[in-house]
Chain A
Amino acid sequence: MALINVAAREIHGKIVYYGPGLSGKTTNLQYIHARIPAHSKGELLSIATEAERTLFFDFLPLDVGKVHGFTIRFHLYTVPGQVLYERTRVAVLNGADGVVFVADAKRDRLAENLQSLRELGQNLTAQGKKFLEFPLVLQYNKMDLPDALPTPVLDRYLNPMRVPRFEAIAIQGVGVFETLRAITKLVVNRL
């Protein structure tokens, strides 16, 4: 739920990067954090395991700037992708205004992508939101790998909703800001 604090003249939105384990959600946030000017961002908080897998979430606060006297702030979160952490994903997803679904384009990860996307739909529905009307952007990550599925195939399986989708190589930054721009605009458009 977006929060508008009139006294502080701030608008807060929450965007969650969702997707299966190792699909590149944290990499997206790390790249954004490395590239955004210091005055527009806070610290990147990561609650991770010793093996640097996300345990709870990563968190990055972003200031988009002032519009008509209101500062627009986005809180970017990732969820832990591993199947084990389903209830943690529910907790992080709670109150989200928009979701980026980061899919792993590798052929052998298609089943995990589908399962995670299905779970996202179920979790949003359980939180009283309509999946097909919720601000959602897909990112097909790791498109540089030799065993990446072609975009039309990924579209057929993962995007029957026909939401905006972007090809990405997050580790190189390809598609990262395009994805962020799309989801922030979707959220702002619906405030």
Chain B
Amino acid sequence: MSERKTERLVISPDAVAQVAACLQRLMADSNASLSMVIDRAGRVIAAESREQRSGLADLGVLIAAAYASLQEIARLLKEESFQTVLHEGLRERIVTETVSTHWLLVVLFDEQVQVGLIRVLVKRTASTLAAILDLQKQRAPRVARPRQKQSRRAAQDTIDLIFGKEPQGPDNHPS
């Protein structure tokens, strides 16, 4: 196999700050409890929450999976896509909005927040986010590959260290 480089996307600190500012404005305008931007694989780019929350990584992955599943349904129905997805529970509601081709905007809110208002604000925010994030795809990576030669070596050593011999798991720790 040849040594081709894998496709990658570098998100600059500047872009993350702009995304965070968008999410903060959305939270202030809507009274939502959580908003976050994830990629289509569910990886969290930025998140804003009214309270400390754990499990955001899992939430991102499951929402991205549900979204991917719905896009396959759209394909079967010969629908172009489902741009907006709404999940309604007794307390929590989740809106997932398509942002450009790579990203999703996820907003959690409760029954006191109007769905219609969220839809409008989410559409507006998604359009701003698309402009910010699409610019990242067009820019050359800020982390130059040559500089990474040392990093790659260090990463490989770390992988050897962790996976080289079977890690000591909870079952085989000395008591």
Partner of A75, one of B1, B45, B61: B61
B43 an interface residue at 8 Å Cβ cutoff?
yes
Q: Is the CB of A190 within 8 A of B142?
A: no
Number of interface residues of A (CB under 8 A): 58
- CB-CB under 8 A from A130, the residues of chain B are 4
Nearest B residue (CB) for A4: B10
Nearest A residue (CB) for B143: A4
B11 an interface residue at 8 Å Cβ cutoff?
yes
* Chain A stretch 66-116: residues in CB contact (< 8 A) with chain B: 67-68, 70, 72, 75, 87-88, 90-92, 94-95, 97-98
Q: Is the CB of A163 within 8 A of B166?
A: no
Complex CA gap A187/B172 in Å reads 29
Q: Is the CB of A135 within 8 A of B6?
A: yes
* Chain A stretch 127-158: residues in CB contact (< 8 A) with chain B: 130, 132-133, 135
Q: Is the CB of B6 within 8 A of A190?
A: yes
Nearest B residue (CB) for A161: B1
Partner of B163, one of A45, A47, A184: A184
Q: Is the CB of B167 within 8 A of A35?
A: yes
Given contacts A4-B141, A91-B65, whether A97 and B6 have CB atoms under 8 Å apart is yes
Binding site for A on B (CB under 8 A): 1-13, 16-17, 39-43, 45, 57-58, 61-62, 65, 68-69, 71-72, 75, 141-143, 148, 150-152, 154-156, 158-172
